[in-house]
Amino acid sequence: MEKYKELADFSSKYPKIVIALGMFDGIHIGHQRIIRKAVAKAREINGTALVFSFANHPRSVIVPSTAPRRIGSDAIRFHVLRNLGVDALVEIPFTPDFAEISAADFIELLQCHFSPKYIVVGENYTFGRGGFGTPKLLQDNAASYRFSLIVCPSVMRGGAPVSSTRIRTCIANGEVSKVNEYLGYPFTINGIVIHGQKRGRRLGFPTANLALREEFEHLPNGVYAATVFYQDHLYYAASNVGNNPTFDACDRRLEVHIMGFSGDLYGAEIMVSFYKKIRNERHFPSAEALIQQIEKDKESVVCVLAENFHLQENISMVI
């Protein structure tokens, strides 16, 4: 999959473009319905499946105080789109100037840069200044701009549409199973391993530490059954989100004990995927008590992941 950060004459580069439009934060199962439809239509006409989105959330420009945290990183987004069969991703910055583009001018922009044969959107998609552009406006302009419009209905779960907002709430509440159900793949964090206090190593349980960046959503503090993907290998892992309260509290971070792995990971990039919360983070009276609990945590992780191995099959969406 090719990725572009600026607009260009994509209609000359790619034949018969089928374009999927949306912010696609997290690329949940509702987004996947839209993207799979675009990919299927592109294959049907021997064309190009292209996603047009933004590198930052529009609200970060329009109303910065209400801008949501992101569900997944650029790397996770790229992997999921590639594995869905997308041929090209055009992901440009949403700027104050772009925010002033009217709905009519946005349709003109699509024609100028993409000349799409098909446009695929969700039923709640809006575009243009003030969000006045709707699927109906696209349909009203389809004939004059010579494209066909496909509108995908929302994916429903529990009587309500799956949405990025709903997933953020589930992440904040630590509802890992719902998050993973709505995403269609395990909630995943990727990052560069940083140095910690090396207490885990001294306790006999070395950990890889990742910083938790403010612009992303994170699970509540606690211990989770997880997997780690590193250099084409998938490992079971016990992961802790928190501040290490048994010792001197540290900055909130993700610590991951990777089972069956030995080696130096400092400076390496890893992907950590979460499956179930094992317990809350808590203070232990001694290092010995903590060691005993970690052994129990590892047993719990193995049981969770072994009993739910089918859940791990969905990791292929993000690696």
- State the sign of the Cα–Cα–Cα–Cα dihedral 164, 307, 192, 283: positive
pLDDT at 316 over 60: yes
Q: What is the mean pLDDT of residues 186-203?
A: 78
Q: What is the mean pLDDT of residues 267-288?
A: 89
Q: What is the mean pLDDT of residues 50-76?
A: 94
Query: Predicted confidence band at 204 (pLDDT cuts at 50, 70, 90)?
Result: low
Query: Predicted confidence band at 199 (pLDDT cuts at 50, 70, 90)?
Result: low
Q: Select, from the ranges 30-34, 73-77, 288-292, the one with the highest average predicted confidence (pLDDT).
A: 30-34
What integer pLDDT is reported at residue 44 of this predicted model? 98
What integer pLDDT is reported at residue 188 of this predicted model? 96
What integer pLDDT is reported at residue 114 of this predicted model? 98
Q: Select, from the ranges 72-81, 246-255, 275-284, 305-314, the one with the highest average predicted confidence (pLDDT).
A: 72-81
pLDDT at 251 over 90: no
Length of the chain: 319
Query: Predicted confidence band at 314 (pLDDT cuts at 50, 70, 90)?
Result: confident
Query: Predicted confidence band at 242 (pLDDT cuts at 50, 70, 90)?
Result: confident
Condensed to tens digits (0 to 9), the pLDDT of residues 218-241 reads: 999 999 999 999 999 999 999 999
Condensed to tens digits (0 to 9), the pLDDT of residues 113-131 reads: 999 999 999 999 999 999 9
Residue in 53, 205, 48 with CA at minimum distance from that of residue 122: 53
Query: Could you tell me which residue, 132 or 205, shows the higher pLDDT?
Result: 132
Q: What is the mean pLDDT of residues 182-198?
A: 89
Q: What percentage of the chain exceeds 90 in pLDDT?
A: 81
What integer pLDDT is reported at residue 313 of this predicted model? 67
What integer pLDDT is reported at residue 200 of this predicted model? 53
Query: Predicted confidence band at 173 (pLDDT cuts at 50, 70, 90)?
Result: very high
Q: What is the mean pLDDT of residues 174-195?
A: 94
Query: Predicted confidence band at 82 (pLDDT cuts at 50, 70, 90)?
Result: very high
Average pLDDT score, the chain: 92
Query: Predicted confidence band at 315 (pLDDT cuts at 50, 70, 90)?
Result: confident
What integer pLDDT is reported at residue 245 of this predicted model? 58
3-state secondary structure string across the chain = CEEECCCCCHHHHCCCEEEEECCCCCCCHHHHHHHHHHHHHHHHCCCEEEEEEECCCCHHHHCHHHCCCECCCHHHHHHHHHHCCCCEEEEECCCHHHHCCCHHHHHHHHHHHCCCCEEEEECCCCECHHHCECHHHHHHHHHHHCCEEEEECCCEECCEECCHHHHHHHHHCCCHHHHHHHHCCCCEEEEECECCCCHHHHHCCCCEEEECCCCECCCCCEEEEEEEEECCEEEEEEEEEECCCCCCCCCCEEEEEECCCCCCCCCCEEEEEEEEEEECCCCCCCHHHHHHHHHHHHHHHHHHHHHCHHHHHHHHHCC
Name residues whose C-beta falls within 8 Å of residue 258's C-beta, 6 or more positions apart in sequence: 208, 228, 230, 235, 236, 237
